[in-house]
Amino acid sequence: MIFKSKISDLVENFDFLLNSNFDFHINGVSSIVFPKNNTILFVSKVEYFDKLRDIKNALIIIDHNIIYDFPYESDNFVIDSNNPRLDYAKYVNKLVNMNKKTIKYLTRDFNVIIGETSQIGQDVVIEPGVFIDNDVTIGDRSLIQSGAKIYNNVKIGKNVIIGANTTIGLYGFGVETDLNGETIRIPQLGGVVIGDNVQISSLCNVHSGTIDPTVIEDYVQLDSLVHIAHNCHIGKSTLITACSELSGSVKIGENSYIGPNSSLINKVDLGEHTIVGIGAVVTKSFPANSIVAGNPADHTYNLKQNKRVLTQIISERLEKLKWKSY
């Protein structure tokens, strides 16, 4: 989606903002990790201020507890906020609603719908019942199977298979709650980037990144019924098996293996060549070459050691009970 809204249209109490002499256009959103000019972003930690040194014409929402430490006089709008993430959600929702327009689609035979601004490569096979939104790019020789739905701001590489009834690029579950208990969904505009030679099986969900894209690198394989939440980054040649769930902002290094029915909590970071056992519940990060299992997941050598200790304790307890019975 293309955005172009003036600050004075987005922000209430325009005259009361810090640095309110500028009324420039906002063209999108950015993260504090990769800030961009003419975007909306929020800041909750002082250590990120250095990244804003050269940013111009941005709507910057800063936590009230640190705003007076903000060192730069810049050509930006700076907002004092008690809840930067919530205010970010409100302003981005307003930006999206102000820029909504009638979307046009091209209809092909067999009930295939493709947005008019999307780009389809050569020798791409699109099966019946597929929906492809606007601003989607699909590389050469890819296959989009029946019932798949691909939403805007998704980039798919070459030789990719998107399985039947899989969805790519929908908003994920990002919510803030205000003081009145009203829940507000955070628009997720970062899209999805899928590399070359990726295979995503049927009935999978890959959600759009909130600001920066959700990324699936080359040669990744997803089994059926896999859920990839917003902001995840999956390294090259990783295998994720059936019914696994990755919460928001999970990172998995290349050549890793995620066993069936595994669940990875948000912001977990797994190094390359990591193996996660069947049904594991991963609640913390692990370095490269780890083999983990269990609930909560731990290194398998720790699990074996714990089992030996527990067995010894039970054996000693039973021996004491045996002597007491005489």
Q: What CATH code is carried by the domain that includes residue 267?
A: 2.160.10.10
DSSP E strands, 134-256: 136-138, 143-144, 149-150, 154-156, 161-162, 167-168, 175-177, 183-185, 192-194, 199-200, 205-206, 214-216, 221-222, 227-228, 233-234, 239-240, 245-246, 251-252
Residues 94 and 119 in one domain: no
Is 303 a domain residue? yes
Residues 114 and 90 in one domain: no
Secondary structure (3-state) at 176: strand
Is 74 a domain residue? yes
Is 225 a domain residue? yes
Query: Which one, of 106, 110, 105, lies nearest residue 126 by Cα?
Result: 110
Residue type, 64: H
**Within 13 A of 228's CA, how many CA atoms are on the CB side?**
36
Query: Which one, of 157, 119, 148, 112, lies nearest residue 135 by Cα?
Result: 119
Residue type, 211: I
Answer whether 152's CB lies under 8 Å from 100's CB. no
Residues 167 and 123 in one domain: yes
107: left (phi over 0), alpha (psi -120 to 50) or beta: beta
CA–CA separation, 6 vs 38, rounded Å? 10
Answer whether 246's CB lies under 8 Å from 262's CB. no
CA–CA separation, 109 vs 293, rounded Å? 48
Q: Are strands 112-115 and 105-108 parallel, antiparallel or unpaired?
A: antiparallel
Handedness of CA 125, 197, 171, 2 (dihedral sign): negative
The pLDDT of residue 9: 83
Residues 158 and 226 in one domain: yes
Active site residues: 230
Handedness of CA 270, 273, 279, 280 (dihedral sign): negative
Quickly list DSSP for 117-146: T-EE-TT-EE-TT-EE-SSEEE-TT-EE-T
Domain assignment of residue 277, given as a range:
250-326
Q: Residue 188 is encoded by which pair of tokens?
A: 């997720």
CA–CA separation, 278 vs 244, rounded Å? 9
Phi, psi for residue 17 in degrees, rounded to 5: -80, 150
Residues 143 and 42 in one domain: no
Answer whether 196's CB lies under 8 Å from 213's CB. no
Q: 71, 98, 125: which is the final residue of a domain?
A: 98
The pLDDT of residue 71: 76
Split into its structural domains, the chain has a count of 3
Q: Are strands 154-156 and 161-162 parallel, antiparallel or unpaired?
A: unpaired
Per-residue tens of pLDDT for the chain, all 326 residues = 667 788 888 887 654 455 555 678 898 999 998 999 999 999 999 888 888 888 888 999 999 999 888 876 667 888 889 999 999 998 998 888 888 766 666 666 778 999 989 999 999 999 999 999 999 999 999 999 999 999 999 999 999 999 999 999 998 888 888 888 889 888 899 999 999 999 999 999 999 999 999 999 999 999 999 999 999 999 999 999 999 999 999 999 999 999 999 999 999 999 999 999 999 999 999 999 999 988 888 887 676 665 565 566 556 665 665 555 44
The pLDDT of residue 37: 93
CA–CA separation, 79 vs 40, rounded Å? 11
Residues 113 and 91 in one domain: no
Is 114 a domain residue? yes
The pLDDT of residue 306: 59
CA–CA separation, 172 vs 207, rounded Å? 5
Residues 15 and 56 in one domain: yes
Is 245 a domain residue? no
The pLDDT of residue 263: 96
The predicted model scores a pTM of 0.82
